Amino acid sequence: MPWWIYALISAVAATGTALFAKVGVEAVPSNVATAARTAVVLAFTLGIVFVRGEQRAVLDVAPRSWAFLGLSGMLTGVSWLAYFRALQLAPASKVAPIDKLSLALTIVLAGLVLGEHISPRLAAGVALIVAGTLLTLAS
């Protein structure tokens, strides 16, 4: 499958994540909810690794990759903990747009840190994402 199919699957799954998490976190401490979600993600992804026979590849991961994957994992944890707490305190229709500002931030940082090209058209798209987020919060 091409990359954009995976990206689309990710977007659709993330939609369900927000809705199911909002309902699931109602009567549970947000940190407990995050731990439960993390346990499910771990079990699910380990299952896929073993079904695909990729477990041996763990031995081939370079230390630099482990370091960056570790940092990414820690930031994922911070993100999820904050996201679940926000869902406890506010409607999903307000939390999700702010959370999705990560798209605009990722594009800007990909340009600044990774040297990815940001065309005027892409910059305009980022501005529209930010404007759209602000509009959803104003309603």
Are 52 and 130 in contact, with CB atoms under 8 Å apart?
no
Instruction: Say how far apart CA 110 and CA 118 lie, in whole Å.
Output: 9
pTM, rounded to two decimals: 0.83
**Closest of 73, 94, 72 to residue 83, by C-alpha:** 94
Give tens-digit pLDDT for 48-79. Answer: 999 999 999 999 999 999 999 999 999 999 99
Q: Are residues 27 and 48 in the same domain?
A: yes
Same domain? 71 vs 42: yes
- Is residue 95, in this structure, part of any structural domain at all? no
* Same domain, residue pair 67 and 7: yes
pLDDT tens by residue, 117-126:
999 999 999 9
- What domain range includes position 125? 100-139
Quick check: is 109 in a domain? yes
- 114 falls in which pLDDT band (50, 70, 90)? very high
Residues 77 and 105 in one domain: no
pLDDT tier at 86 (50, 70, 90 boundaries)? Answer: very high
HEC profile of the chain: CCHHHHHHHHHHHHHHHHHHHHHHCCCCCHHHHHHHHHHHHHHHHHHHHHHCCCHHHHHHCCHHHHHHHHHHHHHHHHHHHHHHHHHHHCCHHHHHHHHCHHHHHHHHHHHHCCCCCCCHHHHHHHHHHHHHHHHHHHC
Q: What percent of the chain has pLDDT over 90?
A: 88
Answer for the pair 95, 86: CB distance below 8 angstroms, yes or no: yes
Contact 38, 77 (CB under 8 A): yes
36 and 77 in a common domain = yes
